[in-house]
Structure 1
Amino acid sequence: MKLTILGCYAATPRTLTNPTSQVLEIKNRLFLIDCGEGTQVQLRKNKIKFSKINQIFISHLHGDHFFGLIGLISTFSLLNRNNDLHIYGPKGIKEIIKLQLRLSNSWPNFGLHFHELENKESEVIYEDDKVLVKTIPLKHRVYTNGFLFQEKVEERKLNIAAVQEYEIERCYYQNIKNGKDIYLEDGTLIPNEELTFDPEKPKSYAFCSDTSYNETMLPIIENADVLYHEATFLQSEENLASKTMHSTAIEAATIAQKAQVKQLILGHYSTRYDSIDLFKQEAETVFSNVLLADDELTFDL
């Protein structure tokens, strides 16, 4: 599992900072999370192949989280994309994008599928044989979701030495990997644990931006391996955070501590501050395992 931060600053793009967008690589799949202005440039700078992005998740319809989407779709068309593209986002995202495509006469030459969200309860919105994605309802000025990405439990790994010792035929290998016990020809039962190794523990990544302090998310993100949580303000601007329905670094750390996640990554910083190190310092007064997101930074989770 690898996370590449394309942008992690609030409000408007600047010469040295970009609005929210990130790519999560999990089980050889690439998921684009939010698509702020300049996302396609950041994808190129980070050498991420456009053709590998087939799912895009948009948290909410504030410009710093989706203004880069129409440009990215248009570039996909210019590159003669063939793969279908699936976009998951709040109700209204389809209308916005289709209006831009219609008025510019720029209909894509690939399948463009919108999955509009309006449920205020957590729900599964994407699933394949390796990964499951569910929403994390957030509290912001407009309808907003975070996203929880979960690896599925893999099949068990064959203990080749043990299988060969018992002279078990290959036709039974898949059943063994699926967790089944095996009977030998003489009726002897061989427990599955003797023939396999445990698979790696599945990992999970929770993305939460933008939101005010919100304990209702705790059961959804509990024990997540990594939590990315917005920290727009420091505690000195707590009143401003409350007014704009954003979080402070300490509030993000409190959520991480109460959810018992293993790792907290802070992002979505207001550009009013001279150094983002201040966010880490404040958060560590509550939660010890804190990392700072920054543009073009990659985390091996």
Structure 2
Amino acid sequence: MKLTILGCYAATPRTFTNPTSQILEIKNRLFLIDCGEGTQVQLRKNKIRFSKINHIFISHLHGDHFFGLVGLVSTFTLLNRATDLHIYGPKGIKEIIMLQLRLSNSWTNYGLHFHELESSDSQVIYEDEKVTVKTIPLKHRIYTNGFLFQEKIDKRKLNVDAVQSFEIDSCYYQNIKNGKDIILDDGRLIENHLLTFDPVPQKSYAFCSDTAYNEKIIPLLSDVDILYHESTFLQSEENLAKRTLHSTAKEAATIALKATVKQLILGHYSTRYENIKLFKEEAETIFPQVLLAEDGKSFDF
């Protein structure tokens, strides 16, 4: 699992900082999460192939989280994209994007599919044989979702030396990988764990931006490997966080602690702060495993 931060600042683009956008690579799938202005440029800077992006998840319809979307949709057309593109986001996102395409006479030459969200409960919005994606209902000034990406458990790995030592025919290998025990010709039962290795533990990633402090999401975040949680403000601006329905670094760390996550990544910093290390210092007073998102930074998990 690899996370690439394309942008992690709040509100407006600046010379050296970009609004929210990130790429999650998990089980050989590439997911784009939010698409603020400058996303295309950041994709190119980070050498991420446009053609590998087939699913885009938009948390909410504030501009710093989706103003780059119509440009990316149009660029896909210019690049002669043929593969379908799926966009998951709040109800209204289809109307916004289609209006811009219609008035600019910029129709796509590929299938463009919108999956509009309006439920206030968590729901599965994407699933294949390797990955499941669920919404995380957040508390913000408009309808907003975070997203929980979970790997599915792999099949057990065949222990070739073990099966050969028991002289088990290869026609049984698939059943063994599926978890079945084997009965030998002499009647002995060989339990599956003696013939296989445990699969690699499945990983999970939760994206939470933007939101006020909200303990209702803790059960959804329980024991996730990586939590990205917005920390727009420091605790010294707690009143501003409450008024705008954002979180402080301390509040993000409190959520991480109560959800017993393994690693916290902070982001969505207000541009009022010159030194983002202050966010890490504040969060570490509550939760020790803290990393800072930075534009262009990648995390390999």
TM-score normalised according to structure 1 size: 0.99
Residue 59 of structure 1 pairs with residue 59 of structure 2: yes
Give the aligned partner of residue 132 of structure 1.
Answer: 132
Equivalent residues in 2 for 1:104-253, closer than 5 Å: 104-253=104-253
Partner of 1:291: 291
Corresponding residue for residue 18 of structure 1: 18
**Alpha-carbon distance, 1:221 to partner:** 0.6
Post-superposition shift, 1:186? 2.4
User: Deviation string for 1:272-297 (max 9, x for gaps)?
Assistant: 01100000010011000100000000
The CA distance in 1 between the partners of 2:173 and 2:245, in whole Å, is 54
Query: Is 1:77 the counterpart of 2:65 in the alignment?
Result: no
Amino acid aligned to 1:79: L
CA distance in 1, matches of 2:269, 2:87: 26
**What secondary structure does 1:280 align onto?**
helix
Note the alpha carbon deviations across 1:100-145, whole angstroms, 9 max, x for none. Answer: 1111111100010000000100010000111000000000000000
Let me know the Cα RMSD of the aligned residues: 0.6
* AA aligned opposite 1:50: F
Q: Measure how far apart 1:217 and its partner are.
A: 0.3
Q: Percent identity?
A: 78
Indicate the SS of the match to 2:258. helix
2-side partners of 1:172 and 1:105: how far apart? 58
**Distance across 1 between alignment mates of 2:275 and 2:283:** 14
* Structure 2 unaligned regions, length at least 5: none
- Cα deviation code 1:244-279 (max 9, x no counterpart): 000000000000000000000000000001100000
1:15 alignment partner, SS class:
coil
Query: How many positions carry a matched residue from both structures?
Result: 301
TM-score when normalising by structure 2: 0.99
State the match for 2:275 in structure 1. 275
Amino acid at match of 2:63: G
Q: Which amino acid aligns with 1:157?
A: K
- Deviations 1:66-96 (CA, angstroms, capped at 9, x unpaired): 0000000000000000110000000000010
Separation in structure 2 between the aligned mates of residue 256 and residue 73 of structure 1, nearest angstrom: 35
Deviation of 1:23 after TM superposition, in Å, equals 0.1
1:266 equivalent in structure 2? 266
| Deviates most, 6-15 or 166-175 | 166-175
What letter matches 2:7 in structure 1?
G
Deviation at 1:167, TM superposition (A): 1.6
